[in-house]
Amino acid sequence: MLVHQILKSKAKTGVLTVASNAKVAEAARVLAENKIGSVVVSDDGGQTASGILSERDIVRELAGSGGSCLDQPVSAYMTAKLVTCTSNNSAQELLTTMTEGRFRHMPVVEDGKMIGLVTLGDVVKAQLSELAMEKEALQGMIMGH
């Protein structure tokens, strides 16, 4: 299965973003209100991604420096070196990259513009769906249907 197929199957389209100068507390509010694990950092409203901030990033900083980190800009704690994919990457490629890189969210970029965000959960769901279809096809062949 390819990334563009995964994006089509997602219930919500678009990517939630915060500006790099937004306070970490604002980003945490966006995460909590939307029940998501990360937010893309974009200073142009979502066209390009300059970083990503996850719940883990915030928790690590809270543990290290306390609540004062909530008043700092997102840019201070975001992951600036983004790993991205295109809509033509396979789910298997994403699983490998995310597992090896130990992250769960990957922006999808085409022609320099962000067109979506794929999560590890999205990829696993797509893989399970594909396996179920293959199983049904094989059972049909065995049964002579």
Q: What pLDDT is stored for residue 145 in this prediction?
A: 65
Q: What pLDDT is stored for residue 116 in this prediction?
A: 93
**What mean pLDDT comes out for the span 12-24?**
90
pLDDT-derived band at 143 (thresholds 50, 70, 90) equals: confident
Where do we find the tokens 């299965």? 1
Q: At what angle do helices 91-101 and 120-143 cross, to 10 degrees?
A: 140
**What mean pLDDT comes out for the span 133-144?**
81
**What mean pLDDT comes out for the span 71-82?**
96
pLDDT-derived band at 136 (thresholds 50, 70, 90) equals: confident
Any idea what the Cα angle at residue 42 is, between residues 5 and 104, rounded to 5°? 50
Of 130 and 145, the one with more pLDDT? 130
Going across the sheet that includes 17-18, the strands are: 17-18, 38-41, 51-54
CATH number of 3-143: 3.10.580.10
What phi, psi does 74 have (nearest 5°)? -55, -35
pTM of structure: 0.83
What DSSP designation does 84 have?
-
**What mean pLDDT comes out for the span 46-73?**
94
